[in-house]
């Protein structure tokens, strides 16, 4: 039996070998301004360490898609990265909505940075 029978083992290894942090992931999403985004339409509880637990309405910037129904995304609210089943999310097709989400993400980053500087 395979360790990861549900999706491309190669994709998961690539992700695992390219570690990142929530801060750099969140910055990656902002720098690549109009990249694909999805919104959670059905909550999902992570089953594996490299998966992401989702609450309804969470928004993810999409990094990778597999042919067997999974995508790797970065949750805009906290920069956490992980795999989620496509059946739990839907594509945000409106460019305006995607850009609004990125502006909100920028505001969150700025507020977080100010808070961190205040504690230093």
Per-position b or e across 84-93, b if 16+ CB within 10 A of its CB: bbeebbeebe
Q: Are 102 and 29 in contact (CB under 8 A)?
A: yes
pTM of the model: 0.69
Distance (Å, whole) CA 105 – CA 79: 9
In this prediction, residue 4 has a pLDDT band, given cuts at 50, 70 and 90, of very low
- pLDDT at residue 97 above 50? yes
Domains of the chain listed by start with CATH number: 21-119 (2.30.30.40)
Q: What percent of the chain has pLDDT over 70?
A: 71
């Amino acid at each position: 039996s395979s360790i990861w029978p549900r999706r491309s083992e190669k994709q998961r290894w690539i992700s695992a070998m390219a570690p990142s942090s929530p801060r750099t992931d969140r910055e990656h999403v902002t720098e690549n301004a109009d990249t694909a985004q999805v919104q959670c339409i059905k909550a999902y509880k992570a089953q594996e360490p490299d998966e992401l637990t989702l609450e309804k309405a969470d928004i993810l910037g999409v990094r990778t898609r597999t042919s067997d129904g999974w995508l790797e995304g970065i949750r805009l609210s906290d920069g956490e990265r992980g795999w989620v089943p496509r059946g739990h999310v839907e594509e945000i097709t409106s460019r305006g909505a995607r850009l609004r989400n990125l502006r909100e993400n920028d505001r969150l980053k700025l507020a977080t940075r100010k808070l961190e500087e205040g504690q230093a």
